[in-house]
Amino acid sequence: MAEKVKSPKMSRREFTKIVTAFLGTVMGAIMGIPIIGYVIDPALKSQESDAWISLGPLEKYPIGAPTPFSFTLTKVNGWERTTTSYGVFVLRHSENESDIKVLSNRCTHLSCRVSWKEPEQTYDCPCHDARFNIEGEVVYGPPPHPLDTYAYKIEEGVLFINPTPQEA
């Protein structure tokens, strides 16, 4: 007597379950991937602006006298935004546009801010009594090297600096 073999037929209920689960997964992926991307995208990005900073018309900086200028920069790292203020001294040696020095006002010892002392013709650091000459070179005190400098350019009479200081 021949044995009747049961065919592996799927019930309507099982088929509906599988199709529903499949469609749910596909719809979840279609909707979820962009949302996940939107949520985690800022964490994967680190932005640091390297755009040139305008210090205004060159003519407002007198020759021979270090002139202070301050600006702020905002760095974006994921969801974190950090705004930091910076200060520089613009020193024009002559009318020549290539004869300019832009010095950081951060002491190279522990980053205190130096100030220009006109009578002494020096930048003085109040933290550990360091002193720099008008060119930013260490006169005395603990700083390991001269004040940092900024690359600059002049376009149509306006002075711009690159926001990344360079160690002198």
User: Of 91, 100, 125, 138, which one interacts with ligand FES (CB under 6 A)?
Assistant: 125
Name residue 72's beta-bridge partners: 85
Report, in Å, the least distance between residue 98 CB and ligand FES.
30
Q: Is 58 among the residues that bind ligand FES (CB under 6 A)? A: no
Full DSSP string of 87-128: EEEEEE-SS-TTSEEEEESB-TTT-PBPEEETTTTEEEETTT
Q: In the stretch 80-119, what mask flags binding to ligand FES with x, by CB under 6 A?
A: ---------------------------x-xx-x-------
User: Of 87, 141, 146, 163, which one interacts with ligand FES (CB under 6 A)?
Assistant: 141
Q: In angstroms, what CA-CA distances link 28 with 36, 39, 41?
A: 11, 16, 19
Q: Is 73 among the residues that bind ligand FES (CB under 6 A)? A: no
Structure tokens at 41: 């995208």
Q: Is 142 among the residues that bind ligand FES (CB under 6 A)? A: yes
Is there a contact between 108 and 123 (Cβ–Cβ < 8 Å)?
no
| C-beta closer to ligand FES: residue 53 or 66 | 66
In the block, tokens 């279609």 appear at 30
Site of interaction with ligand FES (CB under 6 A): 107, 109-110, 112, 125, 127-128, 130, 141-143
